[in-house]
Amino acid sequence: MTIYLIIVPLVVLAGVVEALWLQRTRSEPYDWKSWGCSLADMVGRRVLAYIPYTLIAPWLGWVWDHRLATQSLANGWSVLLLFVGLEFFYYWYHRTSHTVRWFWASHSVHHSPNQLTLAAAYRLGWFGKFTGTSLFFTPLVLLGFTPTVVLTALFLNLLYQFWLHADWIPQLGWLEYVLNTPSSHRVHHARNPEYLDANYGGVLIVFDRLFGTYIAERTDVPCDYGTVTPVRSSRNPLIVNFSPWIGLAKDLASACSLHEVWMYLFAPPGWRPNGEGLTTADIRRRAGLVSNETAQPAIS
């Protein structure tokens, strides 16, 4: 809690400084209403943090009670295991958040801004704690790290990603092969067909390269930010947080079978029973970028 109280004012201040600088140096006006939405999202998330319930918290406690070992942060190998393990499981959590609608309903809030700025980094949505995202990190608890240590490490991982939301930082040479950089993260936030569903890493980009989801930023394809289906108002925290869930509820109500219910919940965002949806595969195919809907981004 103490580190949070220290960090939050600093990241908010950094966002304001960037906003003032961008407003003075660019012809495109800075979207202060979007900045206010991101700030309101962060405040609302802190308020909801006082609700003593998450979908997965009891499970974390059970896993800790049945852990295979007990790790000490005084041991360098344990710290390395925590870092690499968190990166690995964060990659799969983040990838799933883009490819499974249940998780995308929460994560899409982060992708709703139409400008990529430092303020976008603290627009993370209100309902992530209720969707079971912590489930992805339970193997670390099983290996002997306390839930508090795992969640603190995750917070630090997200803190690293704050600076990645600057669209004015250039590519960083050889670091692009190892680290998640602003260039890689610009691709991640872009809705261009060429860039969709790529670069899921936290601190590292190596798992994207290993699993074929790395796409490099191209000078001939400027990043277009936001969600594929634009949010009706990306400046209203209530709309950006509730509209994905309202849309999901409407689709579930229209389902004609249990199969359709399952697919609406766990298929990729944009799935439709008639095959005329807006999944990433559909969008890429219509743009002539792939020949079949199972194609994956190629390693650059």
pLDDT digits (tens, 9 = 90+) for 258-282: 999 999 999 999 999 988 888 999 9
Tokens 């930023």: give the residue: 217
pLDDT at residue number 295: 46
The per-residue pLDDT for 52 is 67
Report the length, in residues, of the chain: 300
Q: What is the mean pLDDT of the chain?
A: 91
**Identity at 176, one-letter amino acid code:** E
Of residues 277 and 13, the one with the higher pLDDT is 13
Look at 41-55, 121-135, 165-179, 202-216 and tell me which has the smallest mean pLDDT.
41-55
pLDDT computed for residue 140 by the predictor: 97
| Non-local CB neighbours of 203 within 8 Å, separated by 6+ positions | 83, 87, 157, 160, 161, 179, 180
298 confidence band (pLDDT: 50, 70, 90): very low
Q: 293 pLDDT band (50/70/90 cuts)?
A: very low
Confidence of residue 49 (pLDDT cuts 50, 70, 90): confident
Confidence label for 299 from pLDDT (cuts 50, 70 and 90): very low
pLDDT at 129 over 90: no
pLDDT > 50? residue 300: no
**Rounded mean pLDDT, 204-210:** 98
- Can you name the residues that pair with 179 across neighbouring β-strands? 204
pLDDT digits (tens, 9 = 90+) for 83-107: 999 999 999 999 999 999 999 999 9
Q: Which two tokens stand for residue 200?
A: 């899921």
Which residues have C-beta within 8 Å of that of residue 285, sequence separation ≥ 6? Answer: 291, 292, 293
